[in-house]
């Protein structure tokens, strides 16, 4: 199986031993504590799950600035996006060497992790703006990732963490949420050697379905990992439970048994385009996948990124050998009326606009909200029905 990023074995920061977890929970009752923001909570879940291997905790300001500028920590570890615990107010933890991090997304704010505090540093507004520009390629406050990052505090609290639970992800999505180490175990149990991963924050339509098939065939993969983001999204995106149901229905009806793993992970979407695509590659290498599908406008939003920027970053900015996972570069896919199937559009220059079945996301949402049927060339009827029920419930 492919090695994790940055180490020979995966080192998840979740405290596996139940007895040790109980001891730490008791300790946490007497520690200074703080309710972290949702991004920091998601970072803790990802550290605990092994997706952020080989990191040992939250980055200090020097590492965060270095990662934002050149995608490496000060010690030379390749990493595409800073992993930080940013606070607005540190008075509750002043002088503390160990603190309890409380979950903002679960009622009662239970302790999510214990952090050893190695430094508390204040980031200047100039440093914050510089970091935003480097990570997101824009400082536009209308960009959802920029807006979220700028809304966080300026105090950088760094240090190792011991993760005690997986927030709401494990309880709300028990059939879907999986840690990186659980996915590695499932891949090993299935006997898969070559595994292609598909990242999604949306339901899967015919084009996505066929893209997974194309990639599996082209790289001669043993299986497909459909890996959906379960955390916070921007307004208008479809909730995780609806996406989960539609994807499961599609796989159940249209894929052969034992060829697809449907899983999810606990992270908030960044909408950072190219940088987030690289982060997605790190996640999937840590899961044990050998290939990641990177398509048109991967992890983007609006018109902030070029359609294939998330592919070219791997050629232009990711040093050779920095990652072991390979990138499967996908063109935009759509239904061809000429060929009566889904194909990659770039491979068929003989087609005209009229030869494609193309629907905008806005048009799809409008049709579903009005109870209209989507063309079968665009969406499987079983998937369209699940989505239609959701949109009709909003009216």
Could you report the per-residue pLDDT of 305-331, keeping only the tens digit for each?
999 999 999 999 999 999 999 999 998
Confidence of residue 364 (pLDDT cuts 50, 70, 90): confident
Residue 43 CA to residue 85 CA, distance in Å, equals 8
102 catalytic? Reply is: no
Q: Phi and psi (nearest 5°) for 263?
A: -140, 170
Identify the residue with better confidence: 40 or 389: 40
Q: Phi and psi (nearest 5°) for 89?
A: -140, 125
| Percent over 70 (pLDDT), the chain | 99
pLDDT at 269 over 70: yes
Structure confidence at residue 282 (pLDDT): 98
pLDDT at 359 over 80: no
> Do 18-167 and 177-265+271-394 show the same overall fold?
no
**Is the torsion defined by CA of 339, 360, 242, 172 positive or negative?**
positive
Buried b vs exposed e over 21-32: b needs ≥16 C-beta within 10 Å?
beebbeebeebb
Residue 187 CA to residue 189 CA, distance in Å, equals 5
Task: Please provide the average confidence, as pLDDT, over all residues in the chain.
Answer: 94
Confidence of residue 17 (pLDDT cuts 50, 70, 90): very high
171: its two tokens: 């309880």
Residue 287 CA to residue 324 CA, distance in Å, equals 12
Buried b vs exposed e over 364-383: b needs ≥16 C-beta within 10 Å?
bbebbeeeeebeebbbbeeb
Confidence of residue 303 (pLDDT cuts 50, 70, 90): very high
220 catalytic? Reply is: no
Identify the residue with better confidence: 370 or 76: 76
pLDDT at 360 over 70: no
pLDDT at 213 over 80: yes
Query: Looking at the DSSP assignment, which residues form a beta bridge with residue 357?
Result: 335
pLDDT at 232 over 90: no
Annotation: CATH topology of 18-167:
Sulfate adenylyltransferase (3.10.400)
| Percent over 90 (pLDDT), the chain | 82
Contact 197, 289 (CB under 8 A): yes
Residue 316 CA to residue 312 CA, distance in Å, equals 6
Residue 293 CA to residue 279 CA, distance in Å, equals 13
Residue 223 CA to residue 221 CA, distance in Å, equals 5
Structure confidence at residue 260 (pLDDT): 98
The 3-state DSSP class for residue 372 equals coil
Contact 15, 164 (CB under 8 A): yes
The 3-state DSSP class for residue 240 equals helix
pLDDT at 46 over 70: yes
Q: Which of 21, 98, 109, 201 is catalytic?
A: 201
42-61 mean pLDDT: 98
Residue 361 CA to residue 293 CA, distance in Å, equals 21
The 3-state DSSP class for residue 355 equals helix
Contact partners, residue 270, CB within 8 Å, separation at least 6? 81, 135, 136, 145, 276, 279, 299
Q: Which of 202, 213, 248, 365 is catalytic?
A: 202
364-374 mean pLDDT: 81
Domain 177-265+271-394 in this protein, CATH class: alpha beta
Contact 301, 271 (CB under 8 A): yes
The 3-state DSSP class for residue 332 equals coil
Cβ neighbours of 130 (radius 10 Å): 16
126-133 mean pLDDT: 98
For the chain, the structural domain boundaries read: 18-167, 177-265+271-394
Confidence of residue 332 (pLDDT cuts 50, 70, 90): confident
Structure confidence at residue 369 (pLDDT): 80
pLDDT at 362 over 70: no
């Amino acid at each position: 199986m492919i090695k994790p990023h940055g180490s020979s074995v995966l080192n998840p920061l979740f405290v596996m031993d139940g007895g040790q977890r109980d001891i730490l929970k008791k300790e946490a009752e007497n520690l200074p504590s703080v309710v972290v923001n949702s991004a920091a909570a998601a970072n803790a879940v990802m550290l605990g799950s092994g997706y952020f291997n080989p990191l040992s905790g939250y980055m200090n300001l020097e590492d965060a600035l270095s990662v934002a500028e050149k995608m490496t920590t000060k010690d030379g570890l390749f990493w595409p996006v800073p992993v930080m615990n940013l606070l607005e107010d540190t008075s509750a933890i002043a002088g503390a060497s160990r603190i309890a991090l409380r979950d903002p997304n679960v009622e009662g704010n239970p302790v999510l992790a214990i952090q050893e505090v190695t430094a508390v540093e204040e980031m200047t507004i100039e440093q914050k703006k510089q970091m935003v520009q480097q990570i997101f390629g824009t400082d536009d406050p209308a960009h959802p990732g920029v807006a979220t990052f700028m809304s966080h505090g300026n105090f950088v609290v760094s240090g190792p963490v011991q993760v005690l639970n997986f927030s709401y992800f494990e309880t709300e999505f028990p059939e879907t949420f999986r840690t990186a180490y659980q996915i590695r175990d499932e891949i090993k149990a299935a006997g898969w050697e070559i595994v292609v991963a598909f990242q999604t924050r949306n339901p899967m339509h015919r084009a996505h379905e066929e893209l997974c098939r194309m990639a599996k065939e082209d790289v001669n993969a043993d299986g497909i990992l459909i890996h959906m983001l379960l955390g916070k999204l921007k307004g208008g995106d479809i909730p995780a439970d609806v996406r989960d149901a539609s994807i499961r229905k599609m796989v159940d009806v249209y894929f052969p048994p034992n060829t697809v793993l449907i899983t999810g992970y606990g992270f908030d979407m960044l909408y950072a385009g190219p940088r987030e695509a690289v982060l997605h590659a790190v996640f999937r290498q840590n899961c044990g996948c050998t290939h990641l599908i990177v398509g048109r406008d991967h992890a983007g939003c609006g018109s902030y990124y070029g359609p294939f920027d998330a592919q070219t970053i791997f050629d232009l900015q990711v040093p050779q050998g920095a990652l072991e996972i390979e990138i499967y570069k996908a063109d935009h896919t759509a239904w061809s009326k000429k060929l009566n199937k889904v194909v990659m559009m770039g491979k068929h220059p003989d087609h005209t606009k009229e030869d494609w079945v193309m629907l905008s996301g806005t048009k799809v949402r409008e049709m579903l909200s009005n109870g209209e049927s989507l063309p079968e060339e665009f969406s499987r009827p079983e998937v369209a029905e699940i989505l239609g029920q959701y949109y009709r419930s909003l009216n």
